A and B are shown apart, each in its own frame.
Chain A
Amino acid sequence: MLATLPLPFFFFIGGLVSIFLPKGAVKSSFVCLVPVIALLVLLNGDWEAGFKIQFLGLELNFMRVDNLSTVFGIIFCIAAFLGNLFAFHLRESTQPFVALIYSGAAIGAVFAGDLITLFVYWELTAISSVFLIWARKTEGAYHAGMRYLIIQVLSGVVLLFGVALFYFETGSISFVKMELNSWATALIFVAFGIKCAFPFMHNWLQDSYPSATITGTVILSAFTTKLAVYALARGFPGTELLIYIGAAMTVFPIFFAEVENDLRKVLAYSLNNQLGFMVVGVGVGTELALNGTAAHAFSHILYKALLFMSVGAVLFRTGTSRASELGGLYRTMPLTAIFCLIGAASISAFPLFSGFVSKSLIMSGAGKEHYQFIWLILVFASAGVLSHSGIKVPYFTFFHHDSGKRPNEAPVHMLLAMGLTATLCIYIGIFPNNLYAIMPFEVKYDPYTFEHILTQLQLLCFAILAFYILSKLNQLPSETRSINLDFDWTYRVFLPSIIGKLLIFLEAAEQKGLKLFNKSLRSFIDKVYHVSGPEGVMTRILTSGTMVLFIAIVLLVVLGIILL
């Protein structure tokens, strides 16, 4: 009986039940259990027929389970479990409830067989996830959440409009491969793009994720953007435009990540960069590349969650996630440091770690279709990832100069969550075939060839070397011997000075534009208020005589239209 219920409903029911459970271990265990049950139901259920209902004469399918959606369904359930485990210490009602609703909505969207269902869940992810940001209860988080909500809901509105147009053009609402050749599909594409943080639509990501609660960021990082990647892989595989968008996405966040001080923001930028790889994979659109996208999404969710967890644990213990205020924490948080390094190794695609076996699928996919230039960009971006996520995050947090902070090791449940995630990262890296086995298409690929490992190691070694030389070189102008000041200087003054001028120029232009926009918007609103506000012309209380005059005019117009 249970197996016939659509998967997201397990989360919704679980969420509702969780409200009534006593705060503490009972509630926390329960919210960890829900995704596990859902995963078991997904794997053991018989979903051949889907779950179809008739609504307004349209057939909606809540459960379209095929290879592609199953991959994302599995990883979403795992991510929900790990995220909830990481949040085991919470003693409140909002966050566990919202986390379940949010992950349930994301899973519902993945299994949506038609565009209407997709839209409903699309909006539900937006509305539910914002509470994870608001739960931080600071003024900044409130505003960041509001900005986030507006953009996410906008994406949903664009999607709805696109879907409506699509329906009237084709008479179909089924969510299948579309061609980017009409207004309808263009709107749907843009809606997906906003959620996927395409360049120039990406700011919400770096704005909101670091503003969320410690546990909220871990949950947030897994679902929204990967849902968008899934939607693109389902709707627009092989759209060449995506290759270039994806390539741009892999490159531009690198510079921002390099100069950013808040480590959670660094990770948000690198999230953007990793999405770029997946988008390129969707753009290439061959079986190999789509496998790469799915595999990379799978391993990415894990190692990105791991990185957010480790930085979150540090934030939990020290109260800060700023690179300049951290350092030397390996002494008292050795396990967290090791887990962070595993995450870093995975995102940098070291052999034997998960990023290696998934990213190479995408790169080979692009290479096989003769996108040499794109391939080079991706290589460059990989080096960039290594530098800001692979080295910068663990280096500044756990090594580097001693900040003097001696926090306790992370709580047990956080260590457990990180340990499980880290194990999965390594497991996937060593036994890639188990991951490949659940890919949408058959995988005939062996990442562990001699050349491949050699190339990757060369790249990684030279990137590390470059990092080292850069830090040594920049030590010279400084008079102090301690490397921390030098490197602080490097990444706060030196690197910005290269791109700084460009940024300053852009910023000035942006500011000017914003100011102009704000000013004209304000004066426009003032005018609207003047006309339609409480004292405005349009709401004035009229005398009966004036009203009757109106009536007479309307009658004249009506008579005129009818009789003339």
Chain B
Amino acid sequence: MASEIKQGTLELVNHLPILQVITPMLIAPILVVLNNKTLSWLLSFVGALACLFISILLIQAVSDGSILTYYLGGWVPPIGIEYRIDAVSAILLFLISIISAIVLIFSYSSLHAEIPEEKHTLFYSCFLLCLTGLLGVVATADIFNVFVFLEISSLSTYVLVAQGAFLDRRALSASFNYLIMGTIGATFFVIGIGYIYMATGSLNMMDIAERVNQFGDNRTIQAGFAFIVVGMGLKLAMVPLHVWLPNAYTFAPTVVTCFLAATATKVALYVLIRFVFSVFNYEDIFVNELFFLLLMPLAVIAMIAASVIAIFKQNLKKLLAYSSLAQIGYMLLGLSLMSQKGLASSLVHMVNHGFTKAALFMSLGAFMLNTKNVYIKSLSGLGKSMPFTSAAFVIGGLSLIGVPGTAGFISKWLLLEAALETGYWLVAILIIASSLFAVIYVWKIIEVLYFSESSESYNEVSVLTLMPIWILALFCIFLGINTSLTVDVAIMATEILFK
């Protein structure tokens, strides 16, 4: 793989990695100073659009297999902090930026229904900080910097989730539980980093990777790896460490749920992938053993159990939250197959599921603007009175099941292919079984939407609310037909990781 490093000049492209992260970070305090509701929405949206623009430029720059690096303040690593963008991080940056932009369009019309007006400015400010954190985690190549950004995003997430308390006070306990769990996760993560630093004396990923290879069998490094896996397992809601997720997603405001469901867990998974491939050596026995003995069974359990639980849920936000757990299972499974195709399926599913889940949560949010709650019963007959929102929900649902022609099909097909290629027959069967469960819970909702009579009639939501929903729904179809943005880039990314 030809990897050419660009460095040093004043050309804009060389400063993209830092601009990507710093744009939302600089806007966040400005909002607080201006303290104007509409202006802060506008500025956040412009910031998100700028991020999206930068991320598209970045994808273009790295799509030929090259790697962009940026030395913060000109300090050369391993002393200085390095930002490093390759195909893997470029996809994630794109996903996060575009979702944040779309979610912000939606927030313009939905936020006033969920959060008191005087808190809007602070909300947007927190949202941008969360965005900064997520982008930073992906962009940086310094493991302590990963921790810092992870905490920036997590702390702001706790605040964002707690905003749901305006509608339902249970958001507070959900946020508190998330705080406890998330903090423990972060602590484990930083302990892991500590062990690694103790053994290697370095914090730069590339540098550590070289030194780890020289060490061979080292207990300290291995313990560090264990702590990092558990810490990230918490953040990405690996079953049995998932307990925080369903409540956090259910009680958070819709905007937050959309954004988190589409990005936050994926970023945690990305960190895990980074550590396995770019920091540690994926060929090491202890890494493979851990994936084979623990992560794969846990992923399969998540796939099946969470899907079954979702079938019985009456609160649709909770239903989708459990389905997210199952989908995280797919991604973790793809990673734990430890093959190029498996990893590619995992990366593609991150993007595809991001769009799918965001579309679903957002259309639920649109329903909620009318019905005030998302219990399955209150949605009856909405297929007639809110045809556009319902149609978008159906598209998202089909993509969640993995119907051909939608994004979900592509990643499930890749995953199935990867499972069979590596000879895990049983796993392949379970993937299909889990998809069948998805058929059940999606159908359950569709049946209520279209085949039951409604007692009340509602009006369709405004065009401004429909627009982001349909952008996401169309992405679900587009990514199911055109795979050049997802599959091709993901295969390029796996080639970089498996070098």
Contacts and interface: CB of A to CB of B under 8 A. Distances in A.
Interface string A156-178: 01000100110110000000000
Contact of A558 (B290, B308, B413): B290
B289 interface: yes
Given A542-B243, A550-B241, A562 B222 contact: yes
B404 A562 contact: no
A554 B404 contact: no
A528 B308 contact: yes
A119 B294 CA distance: 35
A547 B180 contact: yes
Interface in B283-317: 286, 289-290, 293-294, 305, 308-309, 312-314
B483 interface: yes
A165 B227 CA distance: 39
A374 B36 CA distance: 86
A534 interface: yes
B314 A544 contact: no
Interface in B400-422: 403-405, 410, 413-414, 416-417, 420-421
Contact of B309 (A119, A123, A532, A557): A532
Contact of B226 (A123, A538, A558): A558
A538 B417 CA distance: 31
Nearest to B285: A562
Interface string B423-438: 0000010001000100
B247 interface: yes
B181 interface: yes
A548 B416 CA distance: 34
A551 B428 CA distance: 29
B416 A164 contact: yes
A167 B180 CA distance: 47
Contact of A561 (B290, B414, B421): B290
Interface in A285-316: none
Given A55-B483, A551-B241, A563-B219, A165 B308 contact: no
B362 interface: no
Given A55-B483, A561-B294, A538 B309 contact: yes
Nearest to B425: A165
B177 A550 contact: no
A328 B177 CA distance: 78
A541 interface: yes
Interface string A171-209: 000000000000000000000000000000000000000
B230 interface: yes
Contacts of B177: 544, 547
B124 interface: no
Nearest to A559: B226
A528 B416 CA distance: 26
Chain B contact-residue range equals 35 or more
Contacts of B404: 116, 119-120, 123
Contacts of A56: 410, 413-414, 483, 487
**Chain A interface secondary structure, helix, strand, loop or mixed?**
helix
Given A120-B405, A532-B305, A532-B308, A555 B240 contact: no
A523 to B, nearest CB: 16
B420 A168 contact: yes
A536 B188 CA distance: 30
B461 interface: no
B246 A539 contact: yes
A529 interface: yes
Contacts of B420: 164-165, 168
Nearest to B185: A551
A123 B314 CA distance: 29
Contact of B294 (A529, A541, A557): A557
Contact of B432 (A161, A542, A555): A161
A551 B244 CA distance: 12
B374 interface: no
Nearest to B451: A142
A171 B81 CA distance: 46
Given A539-B246, A561-B289, A551 B294 contact: no
Contact of A562 (B223, B403, B414): B223
Contacts of A544: 176-177, 180-181
Given A548-B180, A558-B229, A532 B244 contact: no
B226 A541 contact: no
A558 B294 contact: yes
B32 interface: no
**Chain B interface secondary structure, helix, strand, loop or mixed?**
helix
A399 B326 CA distance: 62
Contacts, number: 99
A192 to B, nearest CB: 19
A123 B435 CA distance: 15
Contacts of A157: 432, 436
Contacts of B230: 551, 554-555, 558
Interface string A60-99: 0000000000000000000000000000000000000000
Interface string A104-126: 00000000000010011001000
Contact of B234 (A167, A528, A534, A551): A551
Contacts of B414: 56
B233 interface: yes
Interface string B84-119: 000000000000000000000000000000000000
A24 interface: no
Given A168-B421, A555-B227, A562-B226, A548 B294 contact: no
Interface in B184-238: 184, 188, 219, 222-223, 225-227, 229-230, 233-234
A547 B432 contact: no
Contacts of B308: 528, 532
A559 B233 CA distance: 14
Contacts of B181: 544, 547, 551
A538 B302 CA distance: 12
A551 B238 CA distance: 11
A533 interface: yes
A56 B412 CA distance: 12
Nearest to A544: B180
Nearest to A121: B404
Contact of B305 (A167, A168, A538, A547): A538
Interface in A520-543: 528-529, 532-534, 536, 538-539, 541-542
Contacts of B290: 558, 561-562
A161 B243 CA distance: 34
Contacts of A562: 222-223, 225-226, 286, 289-290
Contacts of B226: 555, 558-559, 562-563
A554 B223 contact: no
A133 to B, nearest CB: 14
A534 B180 CA distance: 24
Interface in A120-167: 120, 123, 157, 161, 164-165, 167
Given A56-B487, A547-B181, A562-B226, A534 B314 contact: yes
Interface string B151-182: 00000000000000000000000001100110
23 contacts: A56-B483, A116-B404, A164-B416, A164-B420, A532-B305, A532-B309, A538-B305, A539-B309, A541-B243, A544-B181, A547-B180, A547-B181, A548-B180, A550-B241, A550-B243, A551-B230, A554-B233, A557-B294, A558-B226, A558-B290, A558-B294, A561-B293, A563-B222
Given A168-B420, A542-B243, A551-B181, 17 more contacts: A116-B404, A120-B404, A120-B405, A164-B416, A164-B417, A164-B428, A168-B417, A532-B305, A534-B312, A534-B314, A536-B309, A538-B309, A539-B309, A555-B226, A558-B229, A561-B293, A563-B226
Closest 10 CB pairs of A and B: A533-B312, A532-B309, A558-B226, A544-B180, A562-B286, A559-B226, A555-B230, A168-B420, A120-B404, A562-B222
Interface of B: 176-177, 180-181, 184, 188, 219, 222-223, 225-227, 229-230, 233-234, 240-241, 243-244, 246-247, 286, 289-290, 293-294, 305, 308-309, 312-314, 322, 403-405, 410, 413-414, 416-417, 420-421, 428, 432, 436, 483, 487
